[in-house]
Structure 1
Amino acid sequence: MLQHNSAPVIAIVDDHPIVIEGLKNLLTSETEFEIVSFTTGNDFLNYLKTNEADVVLLDVVLPDINGLELCRELRKKYPEITVLAISNQAERSIIVQMLQNGASGYLLKNASADELLDGIEKGLRGEEALSHEVKAILSRPATNDWNGIPTLTKREKEILRLISEGLSSTDIADKLFLSQLTVETHRRNIIQKFQTTNMFSVIKLAIEHKII
């Protein structure tokens, strides 16, 4: 744990200004914490080069860095920082991956103010912090989260594999001699087939079920 002469520093990393404002208002009215906020993962990493933070409230979906990867990087470079995921992502695989990557807790954005404050206090004490709904999701058998493996076309599998390797739609379009629009259409179709809302979840499920 970092030692401060002043109040503990809580960093909020979320690309939605309204979420940041809501969290700031709650935390400043209820606590003695010093609050800093960032809308991208890179902004937060740059801040850490010359500043300290005790707790980071980290969104899983950011515009520049996958929150799962950022969590892993923080654990490696700044192990003294307590990482608490705060997200709308309620998929079991995402929650598990975030905790495996070193997060001390996972709270859904619909958690109550008391749950959030309790989670921060637990995180500062080195305890695991999970909101009630997250505990319920984790207590269910993993097989209940997903009904069957979707059938992908050869092209969809190819595109999914390249996405999982970190290629952008533009890179994939160039590599496969397709238009970017075609690649984006395939991406949307893949997400729809997996019955989820984002590509992070798709990749985790695809790896889990050995599709890629």
Structure 2
Amino acid sequence: MSKNIEIIVADDHPMLLKGLTEELISNNYKVIDTAENGALALELIIARNPDIAILDIEMPLLTGFEVIKKCENENLKTKFIVLTSHKESRYIYKANNLNISGYLLKDEPFEEIQKCINTVITGKNYFSQTFSQLFDTKISPELEKIKLLSPSERTIVRLISQGKNSKDISEMLLISLRTVQKHRANILNKLDLESSTDALSIWANNNKELLLTI
């Protein structure tokens, strides 16, 4: 089956790109093109419509996520696998909500990539065990906490994630500074955060993607 699977690989690290391409070819996969930036990857994917595109997240010109987003309305058969070194919750949550069939970490063995490709080509999704564990242990609990917030509290946390301070929020929402501070105290309690100056700002920034969807 592998020799009939057409693949495009995109990564801005030449050695990683070369190594993965050679590994795929030696295992009878048909690598039809490669790209070292997101713009070229997008162009090649639209032009050649491969079975699978393996993309790094962080690339020049367009990120892997942006490439996938731009391909959504192109009526392609291509299945997308993200290969990345990012383990942060915001990347994992974003990947889970885009049209991505596979999510793998770069430090995993090639056998895991093979397993992912062979699963994805059948129409099923494949996320590495690390991905699944992180989603279950880090993201799901934070989503549950966010659900405890009232609509007003969620609005305030979103504004905090955008770098707004209490005075800014007070002026934007036309409420008193004291009301904002009361909301912040309630939010800290519901999110089970320490009552320090930066705790809520750090949490809001780390969970920005989650806040945009709820």
TM-score, normalising length from structure 2? 0.64
Pairs aligned (count): 165
> What is the match of residue 130 of structure 2?
133
Deviates more, 1:92-101 or 1:103-112: 92-101
Supply the distance in 2 between the matched residues of 1:115 and 1:93 (Cα, whole angstroms).
23
Supply the distance in 2 between the matched residues of 1:116 and 1:143 (Cα, whole angstroms).
25
Change (3 A) 1:34 1:206: closer
Shift of 1:144: 6.2
Contact 1:9 1:36 in 2 (8 A): no
SS at match of 1:50: helix
> What is the match of residue 59 of structure 1?
56
Change (3 A) 1:30 1:140: same
Aligned residue type for 2:16: V
Contact 1:71 1:98 in 2 (8 A): no
Supply the distance in 1 between the matched residues of 2:46 and 2:110 (Cα, whole angstroms).
31
Supply the distance in 1 between the matched residues of 2:161 and 2:70 (Cα, whole angstroms).
34
> What is the match of residue 112 of structure 2?
115
Q: Structure 1 regions of 5+ residues with no counterpart? A: 1-5, 159-189, 196-200
Supply the distance in 1 between the matched residues of 2:138 and 2:82 (Cα, whole angstroms).
22
Supply the distance in 2 between the matched residues of 1:143 and 1:57 (Cα, whole angstroms).
26
Aligned residue type for 1:13: A
> What is the match of residue 205 of structure 1?
207
Deviates more, 1:61-70 or 1:119-128: 61-70
**Percent of residue pairs bearing the same amino acid type:** 19
Aligned residue type for 1:206: K
Structure number with the higher helix fraction is: 2
Q: Which has more radius of gyration?
A: 2
Which residue among 100, 103, 115 is the counterpart of 1:103? 100
Supply the distance in 1 between the matched residues of 2:56 and 2:164 (Cα, whole angstroms).
28
